[in-house]
Amino acid sequence: MRVLDQLSSPLIRRALLEAVLVGALCGAVGVHVLLRRLPFFTLALSHATFPGVVLAGILGVSVYLGGAVAALGLVLAVATIGSTRRLEASTATGVALAGAFALGVLLQSAQSSATRNLAGFLVGDILTVNAGDLAMTALFGLVVVVALAAFHKELVLSAFDAIGARAAGYSASRLDVLVLAIVALTVVTSIRAVGTILSVALLVTPALAARQWTTSIGRMMVLGAAFGAVAGVAGIAASAQWDVAGGSAIALAASGLLAVTVAIQQARSLPRRLGFT
């Protein structure tokens, strides 16, 4: 088989490891995205990282650094707006979505080979991942996992009962900023694998599939991570087998897993809906 033959290539092995790491991280973090109803913010965040990534490419510095600075800048802006109440956060997020993406395209259009590089920034180019990229993914992923583990109870409590969290002595605003920062770092981590646009699919879809199987937040995060990793493996296998874009294949594999999961759950509940149980 072509896939097995290509496993001897260091490019494929690095891409496979990157896909598993990013898929698992996005699947786990995506549970908090769903709990706090942040898919739209995540979409805006993915667009906000774009000009930072493009500028980093122009200056010849790490795209992770550029993306992180841009993403955390949006987090601080949203947190400031939320604290001052001068403008609805959703309105500001929508403005940031369009404005940041337009700025990124403008910066990129002024460069040579703009079309090729633009596609890489938007949908990723996972086959170009090197050892340094893997190290950055592992580092960012470790920071996110440690934060999720250290503040798991507080994050879950504030997501379900913000008033109760404040009564228990927790700062709801700080927890909100922490979640947004975690999502921001996760989006930045996935840039090489699936780009700034498709990161939204990988953050939401595996977690949504996991939610079909359990109501426990802890188990949902583990299952979401597993689904994300499986989507990563399936996407790289499809890319190697049929010579298609790796990032798009990973996102499509995640969507396929969600479709299969929903179909299985619907089939399981069919007898009950028909009155046979």
User: What confidence score (pLDDT) does residue 208 get?
Assistant: 95
Q: Hey, what domains does the chain have and what are their CATH numbers? A: 2-273 (1.10.3470.10)
- Render the burial of 85-121: b for 16+ CB within 10 Å, e for the rest: eeeebeebbeebbeebbebbbebbeeeeeeeebbebb
DSSP-assigned states of every residue in 105-118? HHHHHTSTTHHHHH
In the chain, what's the furthest Cα-to-Cα distance? 65
CA 251 to CA 266: how far, in whole Å?
A: 23
Q: Are 75 and 181 in contact (CB under 8 A)?
A: yes
User: What confidence score (pLDDT) does residue 115 get?
Assistant: 45
User: What confidence score (pLDDT) does residue 82 get?
Assistant: 59
Q: Is the pLDDT of residue 107 over 60?
A: yes
User: What confidence score (pLDDT) does residue 119 get?
Assistant: 65
CA 209 to CA 223: how far, in whole Å?
A: 9
User: pLDDT tens for residues 146-188?
Assistant: 999 999 999 999 998 888 888 888 888 888 889 989 998 999 9
Please enumerate in sequence order all residues whose Cβ is within 8 A of that of 126, keeping only pairs 6 or more positions apart, or say none. Answer: 15, 18, 19, 192, 193, 194, 236, 239, 246, 247, 250
User: pLDDT tens for residues 24-57?
Assistant: 999 999 999 999 988 878 888 887 788 888 888 7
User: What confidence score (pLDDT) does residue 56 get?
Assistant: 83
Q: Is the pLDDT of residue 207 over 70?
A: yes
Q: Is the pLDDT of residue 134 over 90?
A: yes
Q: Counting every residue, how long is the chain?
A: 277
- Give the predicted TM-score (pTM) of the model: 0.87
Q: Between these two residues, 214 and 269, which has the higher pLDDT value?
A: 214
Q: What is the mean pLDDT of the chain?
A: 84
Q: Between these two residues, 88 and 123, which has the higher pLDDT value?
A: 123
User: What confidence score (pLDDT) does residue 84 get?
Assistant: 45
Q: Is the pLDDT of residue 73 over 60?
A: yes
User: What confidence score (pLDDT) does residue 114 get?
Assistant: 47
Q: Between these two residues, 66 and 8, which has the higher pLDDT value?
A: 66
Taking residues 78-102, what's their average pLDDT? 61
Residue 102's pLDDT band (cuts 50, 70, 90): confident
Distance from the Cα of residue 197 to its chain's centroid = 9
The kind and range of the H/E element at 249 are helix 246-273
Q: Is the pLDDT of residue 269 over 90?
A: no
User: pLDDT tens for residues 209-259?
Assistant: 999 999 999 999 999 999 999 999 999 999 888 888 888 899 999 999 999
